[in-house]
Amino acid sequence: AMDSGDGLKSSSNMVVPDLQTFLEIDPYIENFTGDIKRRYEMFSKTKARIEAAETMEKFSQSYKNFGVKGKPDGSVHCKEWVPGAKAVYLRGAFNNWERWGYSYEKKEFGKWELVLPPKDDGSSMIEHLSELMLIIQTHDDQYLERISPWATYVKQFDNHGTYKWIFWNPPQSELYHFKNQRPKKPKSLRIYEAHVGIASSEPKVASYKNFTDTVLPRIKKLGYNCVQLMAIMEHAYYASFGYQVTNFFAASSRYGTPTELQELIDTAHGMGLYVLLDVVHSHACKNVLDGLNMFNGTDSCFFHSGSRGVHSQWDSRLFNYSEWEVLRFLISNLRWYMEEYKFDGFRFDGVTSMIYHDHAISRGFSGDYHEYFGLQMDMESLVYLILANDMIKTFLPDAITIAEDVSGMPGMCRPVSEGGIGFDYRLAMAIPDQWIKILKEARDEDWDMDHIFHTLTNRRHGELCIAYAESHDQALVGDKSLAFWLMDKEMYTHMSECTHLTPIIDRGISLHKMIRLITHGLGGEGYLNFIGNEFGHPEWLDFPRAGNSSSYHYARRQFHLVDDNLLRYKFLYKFDSAMQNTEETYGWLAAKQAYVSRKHNGDKVFVFERAGVLFLFNFHHSQSFTGYRVGVQNPGKYKIVLDSDDSEYGGHNRNDKSVRFFTEEMAFDGREHSMLVYLPCRSAMIMAKDDTD
């Protein structure tokens, strides 16, 4: 192999990745290197074509030229891709809605352009916040009313009906100027997954401003270092949770203005918080009048035509990732959010659906590598994901990208140069499914420690995971949060400290803390929590819809429950904060995978070490252990740095935190030293070396 001068290896004129590291990490891919090389070659050729034609710099910033753009001199430049059209017109309030408006000039490759000069006084012909519309004359002489795919602001009037395209072109005096630099990339990633619209106790759609003023300070105080925002890309149906995107470049107007979202992210940066966007490039809403579907009158403009262009379960359209202008649109969409709003990275939705031709519908993954490679791979989608990750890291090297992939495809989180897809993390989606299944089907006495251990540690070597006990998926109506599974019979009657502590509430609070801590310590290299679940939010999440009489009662987060000092929710909230801040001190998420020295099914005990700290769990429902020997590698004096049984977290104070524990020269459970501890039932502790005299 020879170096071609651009950092790529070439052999026989074919560009290939350097697979040596990938093979060392995962020898099982050796029989499938042909597939990996082929997708890498497709990526390399696609990237080379872009560089030769336009450069990736210009290609990824196409948002500067496409759509309707106001210029500093007062002129308005318009550009659209409408293949197969006979004519394209722009009309709106600016020309009194004349039927044809202003006609675009046809260019090569389905492009259409229009320049509107400034008025005599130098002002723009189209006023800021005025309504616009495209008129497209099709090949068969239909006249279609459409919103530009590049529209940056759309709005529903009276909070219902079709979105209207609003020209966003604020005067220079009203532009938002970012005050804070991007924070340093976190070594340990602790994500607070949030939805702006539900981030209030009031039964309404909450605002960007509310999130900035009231929720960001909570996130910072809790100890998270990253916010993941959902449902930002505009979606006509609020109850879709943001996963039926209509307008990809428009930040949702139901929460406020683009300026207010910029202020939110800038404020988060000032607090040292990374901000990720939950990006939906796996599919698009089927809406025609305010979406991308049938944009030019055909089903094949942005999407595959026929059945390949429709997701049968999601009832949505699927992008044609082999189309040059679709790549431009999606790659530019990512760059837009990086530059215009200063997002620090992305959580890519629906990756599993993208990378297989059958979208993994109605099938599981056993781990057989033939399930990941071969004809079922959608090479075009994979190439897009590689290209997206490569572009993101080129222009924002400290960006974080996360894949929502349930299949476990090898190389998803390996660098592009090694033949990987280029993501930093994948979501450990089996973990929350395990906890829900256990709580639904098994008594505490029957919990299988080996099974819990396997699920928490079953991840690809060398590929980082985001662990979580529950996310938005488990909070949705039809399912129940962990707190609800544990305590739903009494959450409305016995969460007040004015009532006696019942066995159900005691068990629920104890296990809620333990489940989170063991997931945090053992499950991955990052951690995620969904807004409100840190304090055991008492209800599921159900957006206003016809089936619930358009009620907002369940589409809100009741933070006032935490602030009420008489309620027990405060205990879960304080423990979650202590857990995040303890990780900040010791950094186990950034450390190597834990060494589990004990998983005893009879005792229901877990013991493991990670980042030099010792985790101890006793899941037994009734048996506490006095003088329980545990192995530890590093000798010395240990102290308790976090105890789920502390009264501050709703526990029973059965361990004295002032006591110090000393190791003995006695090997145990595969560790060179050991010590005796007290393990109360249904409790967990973290111990760390105490170097004080």
Strand order in the sheet with 67-70: 67-70, 76-81, 111-116, 105-106
Amino acid at 441: E
pLDDT at 477: 67
Phi, psi of 187 (to 5 degrees): -75, -45
For the residues of 111-152, what is the DSSP string, one character each?
EEEEEEPPPTTS--SS-TT-EEEEEEE-TTS-EEEE--TT-S
pLDDT at 547: 87
How do residues 273-327 score in pLDDT, each as one tens digit? 999 999 999 999 999 999 999 999 999 999 999 999 999 999 999 999 999 999 9
Q: Can you give the residue ranges of every domain in the chain?
A: 2-58, 62-174, 595-689
Rounded CA-CA distance 203/185 in Å is 36
Rounded CA-CA distance 639/687 in Å is 5
Among candidate residues 246, 82, 98, the one with its CA nearest the CA of residue 90: 98
Portion of the chain with pLDDT greater than 90, in percent:
90
Rounded CA-CA distance 279/292 in Å is 16
Cross-strand pairs, 100: none
- Between the alpha carbon of residue 485 and those of residues 205, 477, 519, the distances in Å are 27, 13, 17
Tokens of 328: 């431009």
- Determine contact, residues 252/233, Cβ cutoff 8 Å: yes
Helix (H, G, I), strand (E, B) or coil at 439: helix
- Determine contact, residues 59/331, Cβ cutoff 8 Å: yes
Rounded CA-CA distance 193/474 in Å is 13
pLDDT at 13: 46
- Determine contact, residues 15/37, Cβ cutoff 8 Å: no
The CB density around residue 374, as the number of other CB atoms within 10 Å, is 11
Portion of the chain with pLDDT greater than 70, in percent:
97
Among candidate residues 464, 482, 444, 456, the one with its CA nearest the CA of residue 572: 482
Cβ burial 380-394 (10 Å sphere, 16+ → b, else e): bbbbbbbbbbbbbbe
CATH number corresponding to 595-689: 2.60.40.1180
The CB density around residue 655, as the number of other CB atoms within 10 Å, is 18
Which positions of the chain have pLDDT values less than 50?
1-13
Helix (H, G, I), strand (E, B) or coil at 214: helix
pLDDT at 308: 96
Among candidate residues 34, 320, 332, 293, the one with its CA nearest the CA of residue 144: 293
Q: What's the Rg (C-alpha) of the chain?
A: 27
pTM of the model: 0.95
611: left (phi over 0), alpha (psi -120 to 50) or beta: left
Mean pLDDT over each residue of the chain, to the nearest integer: 94
How do residues 630-678 score in pLDDT, each as one tens digit? 999 999 999 999 999 999 999 999 999 999 999 999 999 999 999 999 9
88: left (phi over 0), alpha (psi -120 to 50) or beta: beta
Phi, psi of 492 (to 5 degrees): -90, -10
pLDDT at 15: 66
Q: CATH 3.40.50.720: does it fit domain 62-174? A: no
CB-side exposure of 163: number of CA atoms within 13 Å? 33
254 Cα distance to chain centroid = 21
The CB density around residue 141, as the number of other CB atoms within 10 Å, is 8
Helix (H, G, I), strand (E, B) or coil at 506: helix
- Determine contact, residues 348/423, Cβ cutoff 8 Å: yes
Contacts of 221 (CB under 8 A, 6+ apart): 577
The reply to whether 62-174 and 595-689 are identical in fold is: yes
The catalytic site residues sit at 349, 404
Q: Report the largest interatomic distance among the alpha carbons of the chain, rounded to a whole angstrom.
A: 90
